[in-house]
Structure 1
Amino acid sequence: MLLSVVQAHAQDRGPPPALNVPVRCHIGADCFVQNYVDVDPGSGMQDFACGRLTYDGHKGVDFRLTDLAAMRRGVTVVAAAAGTVTRTRDGVADVSIRQSGRAPEGKEAGNAVVIDHGNGWETQYSHLLQGSVTVRPGDRVEAGRPLGRIGLSGNTEFPHVDFGVRRAGQGIDPYTGRVIGTTAQDSPALPAPALPACNSDGGIPIGALWSDQARRTLVYRPSALLGAGLARETPKADTARDGGYGQPLPAGPGPLGVWVELMGGRRGDAVTVEAIGPNGQRLHRLTGTVPRPLAVLFINADIRPPNADPWPTGVYRVMVTLRHEGETVLQEERRVELR
């Protein structure tokens, strides 16, 4: 997925840039870190906080949107630090590999931008929206300069930007400051502490490359509610991910379904989904257990109206609770109006 390789030189020993958040969205509300760098140097997978928000060999940080509707509305990707643009690509279509089967050969990063920050340090912003790239090679950019928008181009299944950091051509984990694939006993890119304990409170290690402001924003979130709502049919994952279950929905007779999409469910987590009518009556309650670690979990169910009556107008609530080892780690609701 690299667009360029910087050769190692003796002079490439300067300090790293302090990295700001590379997206203009509310982390933890309308965008999320779906995947971190895989810090397991072997065949396993583990993120910097000893969680499983990654996959084997992943070398970047994936900032994802909730659905394709959010992508179409537009979310800006910005330079994480000042530097000079060295490479760009645009013109790759925004198509999930679920539909295409694979990314175009040699264009796995999709539409992308690479910025040189000096002293061998560079950042890469991949999977940008087709036609959104606003910079060209040779442009000098400051931190926060818009580069493009989050897209679905290249080797991807969901709208996100893959943010990568390199020094002298070697991938660096911005959360630890280490060369990817190494441990504290290997030769680190920077002095860094041992990996955080598995009961991490969301703090970012001292050796991280993030700025102070980014540290406060990018606290570790092992789970998140990507979306929830109602549909006038048995809910389908693809339709929900395309933003197809908007509101208001039509009231009256006919089927009604409830759907939820969660990120980062851990094995054994208890999930509860409740649908509450406009009069406060519970219409549906579903409980279950996450069978294995899952990047994304989609839940759906049909709801039958009492006595086969038409659905009344008003505001309905979908309430979602996620518990890990008895502790409530997520409790949110989404409201849907039926007219």
Structure 2
Amino acid sequence: MRLAALIATVSLAAPVAASDFRLQFPLDCTLGKDCHIQQFVDHDPGPGATDFTCGTLSYEGHKGTDFALPYLTDMEAGVAVRAAADGVVRGTRDAMPDAYATDANAAAIKGRECGNGVVLRHAGGWETQYCHMKRGSIQVETGAQVRAGDVLGEVGLSGKSQFPHLHLSVRRDGAVVDPFAPHSADRCGTPAKDTLWAGPPPPYQPGGLLGAGFSTGVPAYDTIKQGHADETPLDAQAPAVVFWAYAYGGRAGDQLELTVTGPDGALVSDSTVLDRNQAQFFRAAGRRLRRDRWPDGTYTGTARLLRDGQLVDSYSHSMTIPAR
């Protein structure tokens, strides 16, 4: 069965009636710790995009929820994707490579934007679709019955994707339903009390810090995304101490503050204001070595993401330069 055909034909659903259909969290990760929600279903009926809270964590025509991992190393270590509800496997795909979508591979991806994945059919006309899974990880076959919580495979980077994540689509009778706001397909506002989640819904975080680290120079963005940028602990004779922070959900006007304190007190203090919305981004600041070696002791870098003067998220990372 072609998974892509399901993606191409779905539309946004009208408000759904109350239902016994409920979803379990689909990943083996903890939100805010080792995964986050990068994008939600688009609730803007026009050419713009907004998530269900009227926030910016969506893009034009997005029809699912993106549960993302910070780094490629997290994906390589393996994070299980689990069935969100009892159902029957309607189709799978498992042979597409895990690679960033680029102009060079656009033709190979066309019509298979979901990448590797699984479609489950549930009672009452419901379906769930799991996209961008890791090649070779799918553990179920078409026609198999699964229970909520059963492992389907692992998070990957296949199909049309720019970061390792699971794209979860929920549909009823072929129309997209946002599990966070099933009764308001074409409007946004106060988070819904009645969701499709079993128990409290995953908390909404309007952006945040994915990680931070120290290096001897400003790292390449690809190195950060791969999970290889942190050089902690730095050598006492490192040419520079650079602190970087990796974030998501940035809005124009957001302020990212980077500070480093060392054994002798304040070492770095830097602040950047975003000039545009950015789904993911990083900033770095540091100081060059001005003597024969860095002082022995603990160095702590702190990143703070501020929006309209209010703290959105913060992240601290420490290292120790040992005594000679």
What TM-score results when the alignment is normalised by the length of structure 2? 0.89
CA distance in 1, matches of 2:17, 2:182: 14
**Which letter does structure 2 place at the counterpart of 1:230?**
F
Which of 190, 198, 204 is 1:211 aligned to? 198
The question of 1:60 aligning with 2:64 is answered yes
CA distance in 2, matches of 1:270, 1:146: 40
Q: 1:80 aligns to what?
A: 84
Equivalent positions of 1:62-211 (< 5 A) are: 62-98=66-102, 100-102=104-106, 104-178=109-183, 180=185, 182-183=186-187, 195-197=188-190, 204-211=191-198
- Structure 1 residues 100, 66: CA separation in 2 closer, same or farther (over 3 Å shift)? farther
Report the Cα offset of residue 262 of structure 1: 1.2
SS in 2 for 1:308: coil
Unpaired runs of 5+ residues, structure 1, are 184-194, 198-203
- Structure 1 residues 77, 129: CA separation in 2 closer, same or farther (over 3 Å shift)? same
Q: 2:240 aligns to what?
A: 255
Q: How many matched pairs?
A: 312
CA deviations 1:285-304 (Å, max 9, x no partner) are 11121222221121123421
SS in 2 for 1:238: helix
Unpaired runs of 5+ residues, structure 2, are 11-15
CA distance in 1, matches of 2:65, 2:144: 24
CA contact (8 A) 1:170 1:179 kept: no
Which of 278, 303, 306 is 1:323 aligned to? 306
What TM-score results when the alignment is normalised by the length of structure 1? 0.85
Q: 2:13 aligns to what?
A: none
CA contact (8 A) 1:248 1:338 kept: no
**Which letter does structure 1 place at the counterpart of 2:319?**
V
- Structure 1 residues 323, 14: CA separation in 2 closer, same or farther (over 3 Å shift)? closer
Q: 1:243 aligns to what?
A: 227
Report the Cα offset of residue 101 of structure 1: 4.6
Report the Cα offset of residue 4 of structure 1: 3.8
CA contact (8 A) 2:212 2:230 kept: no
Q: 1:286 aligns to what?
A: 270
Report the Cα offset of residue 179 of structure 1: 7.5
Report the Cα offset of residue 312 of structure 1: 4.5
Aligned identity (percent) is 36
CA contact (8 A) 1:120 1:168 kept: yes
- Structure 1 residues 336, 87: CA separation in 2 closer, same or farther (over 3 Å shift)? farther
The question of 1:332 aligning with 2:315 is answered yes
- Structure 1 residues 313, 87: CA separation in 2 closer, same or farther (over 3 Å shift)? farther
CA distance in 2, matches of 1:99, 1:318: 37
CA distance in 2, matches of 1:266, 1:104: 30
**Which letter does structure 2 place at the counterpart of 1:145?**
D
CA contact (8 A) 1:23 1:77 kept: yes
CA distance in 1, matches of 2:99, 2:81: 19
